[in-house]
Amino acid sequence: MINKKLLIIAAACVLLSACGQNAAQTPHQSATQTHEAKTPPSSPPAKTENSNPSGKNETGSSESSTSGQSQPTDSKQEVSKPPAVKYHMNKAYNIVPNEEGTESKVVLLTFDDGPKKKEWINSIIDVLDKHHAKAIFFVNGYRVKENPDLLKLIHDRGQPIGNHSWDHISLKSEPLAKVTKQIVDVQNIVKEVTGASPVFFRPPFGEGGEVGRKVAREHRLLYMTWSNGSLDWTLKSKDKATNPDKVIKNVLDQLHPGANILMHELPWTVEALDTLLTKLEEKGYHFVDPASISVEPAAGG
């Protein structure tokens, strides 16, 4: 009888011990499972394609970090690389591809005699940005000295700057010392204001002479005039209502692949620009980035 009671007590103790172990393990297992659910897996492999490289949703606003995808933590932005050199300028001042297969139906946009007015500059660059275009702004030193903030505006908005001499005088008959000063002083003031010196030189009136070519070459400047003149500088304020159409017609009448288009910071050119660039695009033309043009002169040029 006593042995039977002892057996019953022993069995009860074994059952109680087993229940106690289960009760102790259950909270630990539950916490572990909860932690595993909250801990993200290791970072997935980087995607080879990005169907939305802008990082914006269809409404145009930046995507929220709650989208379910991990967001980059590196605050450094990618530095865009300069475009490859794909073009050169020939002796006729046209822009020509270096290799077959490179787009040849291109034009180079340029603006001379600035910087003049903030509103004109901003309007021009707004249109350039709209059409994803770059243009060389050929500046005069005396104007930069008067309005260095306007030169900085052009630079800060990402447009290249060219050298158009200090005083906008014809250089073809001037002595070496004077031509050198006219060019070098612009190089210096542009670098002082923007931190970079121009790599393109256009002589006023297209008159640089052999001395102008020599000085430009010595300072590693690509010497150019133009191959398509808008004739905007010949138009008069009294005809301002019709001047924009004249600017457009003048450019389109001379249009050809590689055209080096000369324009100025003038009110009718500013007004004509958006329509002009639209018409050029409709004709299948692209706007060459000046940074993709070799600054070495054409053979024999």
Find, among 261, 260, 256, the residue nearest to 283 by Cα: 256
Residues of the chain with pLDDT under 50: 1-2, 7, 13-77, 301
112, 113, 185, 232: which one is catalytic?
112
CB 292 within 8 A of CB 108: no
264 catalytic? Reply is: yes
- The first and second tokens of residue 8, run together, are 């019953």
Q: Whole-structure pTM over 0.85, yes or no?
A: no
CB 277 within 8 A of CB 133: yes
CB atoms within 10 A of CB 113: 18
Calculated CA dihedral for residues 282, 285, 286, 291, nearest 10 degrees: -150
Q: What distance in Å separates the CA atoms of residue 184 and residue 37, rounded to the nearest whole number?
A: 68
Q: What distance in Å separates the CA atoms of residue 203 and residue 135, rounded to the nearest whole number?
A: 17
Q: What pLDDT score does 53 carry?
A: 35
88, 185, 264, 289: which one is catalytic?
264
**Dihedral sign, Cα of residue 119, residue 124, residue 129, residue 131:** positive
Residues in Cβ contact with 136 at an 8 Å cutoff, skipping those fewer than 6 apart: 108, 109, 110, 111, 159, 160, 161, 162, 200, 290
CB atoms within 10 A of CB 171: 23
The count of C-alpha atoms lying within 13 angstroms of the C-alpha of 12, restricted to the half-sphere facing its C-beta, is 6
Q: What distance in Å separates the CA atoms of residue 278 and residue 272, rounded to the nearest whole number?
A: 10
Q: What pLDDT score does 73 carry?
A: 40
Residues linked to residue 74 through DSSP beta bridges, in sequence order: none
Q: What pLDDT score does 80 carry?
A: 62
Q: What distance in Å separates the CA atoms of residue 268 and residue 247, rounded to the nearest whole number?
A: 8
Q: What distance in Å separates the CA atoms of residue 180 and residue 211, rounded to the nearest whole number?
A: 9
Q: What distance in Å separates the CA atoms of residue 133 and residue 129, rounded to the nearest whole number?
A: 6
Report the DSSP pairing between strands 95-97 and 87-89: antiparallel
The count of C-alpha atoms lying within 13 angstroms of the C-alpha of 188, restricted to the half-sphere facing its C-beta, is 9
Q: What pLDDT score does 5 carry?
A: 52
